[in-house]
Structure 1
Amino acid sequence: MNGTDVKPSVTPGLRLGRVSFVWRPWVLLVTLLLAAATFLVFCLSIGIGDFPISLSQVIATIFGQGEPVDEFVIMDLRMPRAMAGLVVGVALGVSGAITQSIARNPLASPDVLGITGGASAVAVFLVTVSGGAASAIEGTVGLSAAALAGGLGTGLLVYFLAWRRGIDSFRLILIGISVSAVMEALTSWMLTKADIRDVARAQAWLVGSLDNRSWDEVTPALWCTAALLVLVSCVAFQFKPMHFGDDVAAGLGVRYGMVRAVLLLCAVLLAGVAVSAAGPVPFVALVAPQVAMRLARCPTPPMVASGAVGAVLLIGADLVARTALPVTLPVGVVTSAIGGPFLVYLLVRANRR
């Protein structure tokens, strides 16, 4: 134009093979702010309690500069619960982001697809059914590991039932809802047939709670979540072209079938780890990706931001459940109060479209 060459603007990014990973400044800024908010809520959750500790003392103790009394209260008594909320929130947020991206539907989440229902059914079976086999499994494998296996088995069942030369989002959600309904019916039936003491124990687990968490329960969930997040980060950059369709992804050299299967497996395992650590905490995996998508102004849920929103939501809900209400409640009650209206909002918005 008028003899002047106009060069197109280039967004800084990383090119891997034929797929480019683009850095968007606004997404990066939102992610950093969410990470800071996660750390702030994490420290506030540790500091607030019967023995209050200031925010500065909490931060100093976390970095090894605190007093011996503060170190005992924070590291031994309160840190396992807060760390469980952090790990479970991140796992549910990333799991929800993956399932919603693969299904291309904001209603797709581990809750809707039956993953948490399958984990809950296996856990309730071990708690309520008396007998040598159930007791042996619970004593040898553990309730958390059995719940993880139940979530994985249910997720694989939904995937294979929904596979018809590919994954259709509508079929995936319908089959997930059906499997979830079956698992909930089995869970209710086992509760009606069980002893009242076993029912009370199972109900306390089914609500979703972070009470009485120890390092023995948190450490396996932390390492499993970290390993799965590393795998997701290695595969996720190839997932971006799949939003434009399988033909475009194949033209860019993406093996979209394998990428989709690996990411969906990671989502199922992340949800299973979260359920095994805290029970089936509802609606976090549904709400966190949608909130992150709106904050980051992305067409699809950003995974890192979704994990941060999930952590903020779960830790904040636990803080409200144990401090802001007249009685101490499980964290699942608060997340249900938040997620229920949000689900209605998503349904109303979908109907308007």
Structure 2
Amino acid sequence: MNKRTDHTKKHRGKPAAVLLFLLICLVVLTVLNLAIGDENIPLFAVLKALVGQGDPGVRFMVMEFRMPRIILAVLAGAALAIAGAIVQSLLRNPLAASDTLGITGGAGLGAVIVTVLFAQQTPLFLTGAAFLGSILAAVLVYVLAYRNGIAPVRLALVGIAVNAFCHSGIQLLISRSSPNVSSALIWLNGSLWGRSWDHVLALFIWCCLLIPPVWLAAKPLDIMKSGDGVAASLGISLERTRGLLLAAAVTLTAAAVTAVGTIGFIGLMAPHIGRKLAGHESRILLPASGLIGGIILLAADAVGRGLIPPLEIPAGLIAAVVGGPYFIYLLRREAKRGRK
């Protein structure tokens, strides 16, 4: 009896230990990121700046230039990763993610259209345009991929094609002579350069509005993984629950894209890593995926800023270098399973 109790406590403690480990990694990476840039700052000086001490110039650089982009990286990475976890769970498709379904590219194209055509935009207007673009792209992917059902590999390939089409549209728009072309460039490859506290606040509001309700819906999400028949027999309103969760995933993606541009593969990789570390239970997987997404984007930004300073490589390109091969690996694995 005691052995069984000890085993249960150990099993229950593992997810908590994983989340704590990921949180510690995120905090350490945050401090390291504050020290990296055109001018590297000693870690001790960074720590003093965080508590309001030390050189005023260093405090200003840390708190006004570097801290906003770091917090934004954490929020955007978490939003993209949680959106990916939702989509993969609802579709029961390991290849599904915001970028492989065309949602990221559609959101970027919608935001760029508004940026190029209108001199002034509010964050809500931009997010609305990104949301509409992502919805239209997702519908197009579904229509093109449907052939007596949706095969995972076909869905992913069509999604990548639609994403590429949207990126071509972004390139076409920013090639126009426009006073807003410099601000539109951020949506092409994704970047945290020049981000401010205003961008942080806008994304923070969306995350606060959407992530807690999604986490509270973890149990219905787990039941829906077992199939529509099981979920319906347990009294879950399938269409309503699925629609609300998908809307949350699309809005999280649109908000993240509005803030940092079209950064791909985070929503694909983070949930897979989260399942390896913390298991499949959504109440643990969702926060684990969010932390991993923040870690990936922070690491990508650190590499982009610290590799060949003062030249800054967009974080989206760094993420693609890692995520592209991982996507090919998943694609081949699913193709082999389909042939069995």
TM surpasses 0.5: yes
Q: Among residues 111, 130, 145, which one is paired with 1:151 in the alignment?
A: 130
1:275-294 correspondence to structure 2 within 5 Å? 275-294=257-276
Q: Which amino acid aligns with 1:32?
A: L
Query: How far apart are the structure 2 equivalents of 1:254 and 1:83?
Result: 36
Question: Which residue identity is paired with 2:196?
Answer: S
Residue 324 (str. 1) matches residue 312 (str. 2): no
Counterparts of 1:45 and 1:159 in 2: how far apart (Å)? 35
Partner amino acid, structure 2, of 1:302 = L
Kindly state the Cα deviation for residue 159 of structure 1 after the two structures are TM-superposed: 6.2
Say if 2:195 is the partner of 1:213.
yes
TM-score (norm 1): 0.80
For 1:67, the equivalent position in structure 2 comes to 54
Equivalent residues of 1:118, 1:150 under 8 A apart: no
TM-score, normalised on structure 2?
A: 0.83
Q: Distance in 2 between matches of 1:283 and 1:94?
A: 12
Contact 1:103 1:168 in 2 (8 A): no
Query: Which of residues 281, 293, 297 is equivalent to 1:314?
Result: 297
| Equivalent residues in 2 for 1:224-303, closer than 5 Å | 224-298=206-280, 302-303=285-286
RMSD of aligned residue pairs (Cα, Å): 3.3
Deviations 1:180-215 (A, max 9, x none): 4553453344355x2287656533431110011111
> Equivalent residue for 2:27?
39
Aligned partner of 2:76 among 88, 112, 136: 88
Q: In the alignment, is residue 352 of structure 1 matched against residue 336 of structure 2?
A: yes
Matched residue type, 1:312: I
1:160-171 to 2 correspondences below 5 Å? 162=142, 170=152
Return the offset for 1:157.
Answer: 3.8
- The residue matched to 1:238 in structure 2 has which SS? helix
Query: Which structure features the higher share of helix residues?
Result: 2
1:122 aligns with 2:110: yes
Equivalent in the alignment of 1:16: none
**Which stretches in structure 2 are left out of the alignment for 5+ residues?**
none
Which deviates further from its counterpart, 319-328 or 73-82? 319-328
TM-aligned CA deviation for residue 44 of structure 1: 0.9
Q: Which moved more, 1:226-235 or 1:265-274?
A: 226-235
Q: Distance in 1 between matches of 2:61 and 2:183?
A: 28
Conserved 8 A contact 1:155-1:268 = yes
Q: How many residues align?
A: 327
The one-character-per-residue Cα deviations of 1:279-315 (angstroms, maximum 9, x if unpaired) are 1112111111112112224387911111111100000
- 1:49-60 to structure 2, matched below 5 A, reads 49-55=37-43, 57-59=45-47
- Select the structure of larger CA radius of gyration: 1
Tell me which of 92, 95, 119 is aligned to 1:104. 92
